[in-house]
Amino acid sequence: MPYRIKVRGERHRVTAIRLLALASAVIWLAFAIRAIGQAATPLTWPTVTGRITESHVQQVFVATYVGRYQNSPVYEWRFFVKYQYVVAGETYVGTRIDANTEPGRKYPLTGERRYPVGSAVLVHYRPENATDAVLELPIPWTWIVSLIGAAALGWLSLSSRKSYGPQNASELLLV
């Protein structure tokens, strides 16, 4: 059922599917903006020099396989790193590489070469809570693409064809 909406004094005919697409785009856009804001938070954190104390790859149990080989364990190789840094005379230990990834998920194949034991690293720490620290500040490309996708979906849902002529009593006027 087509609906008529008034935008800047002009009446536009919009189908329910386009209204649903617009609502989806708004929700998608809100989540993308929130995620980008969370990922960008460490960009303003102060930095100190730290030192890698542990760097190793380890096989970790992640699930139980269900299917032909029931109850078979599933393992993944994960990279773990520990580093020490000093803030205001107090020594802290960190394990996170970036703010978006849980420890062990990033660099399972190249982590030991990227962060060898004893190497100096730049540590970004939260000013209010120095125990919260990361080594890298990633650009959330997936969320930026998501933001562009949400904007495109919203634009497509709003670019409906203009409908001219008298309004019927059965159509809904949204202002």
Residue 123 burial by Cβ neighbours in a 10 Å radius (0-12, 13-18, 19+): buried
Residues 43-77 have pLDDT tens digits of 778 999 999 999 988 888 888 877 776 778 888 88
Same domain, 101 and 163: no
Same domain, 35 and 58: no
> b/e for 12-45, b at 16 or more Cβ within 10 A?
bbbeeebeebbeebeebbeebeebbeebeebeeb
| Residue 124 near residue 99 (C-beta atoms within 8 A) | no
Same domain, 161 and 92: no
Q: Which has more pLDDT, 147 or 76?
A: 76
Task: Supply the mean pLDDT for the chain.
Answer: 77
CA angle 162, 167, 172 (to 5 degrees): 90
Same domain, 117 and 106: yes
CATH number at residue 98: 2.40.50
Same domain, 46 and 112: yes
Same domain, 96 and 106: yes
CA distances from 35 to 46, 124, 140, 143, 158 (A): 21, 19, 9, 7, 25
pLDDT at 10 over 70: no
* DSSP-derived pairing of the beta strands 10-14 and 47-65: unpaired
Domain range enclosing 7? 3-39+143-174
Q: Provide the 10 A C-beta neighbour count for residue 156.
A: 13
Same domain, 14 and 70: no
- SS3 label, residue 152: helix
pLDDT at 94 over 80: yes
Same domain, 74 and 116: yes
Task: Return the minimum-mean-pLDDT range out of 2-11, 19-28, 162-171.
Answer: 162-171
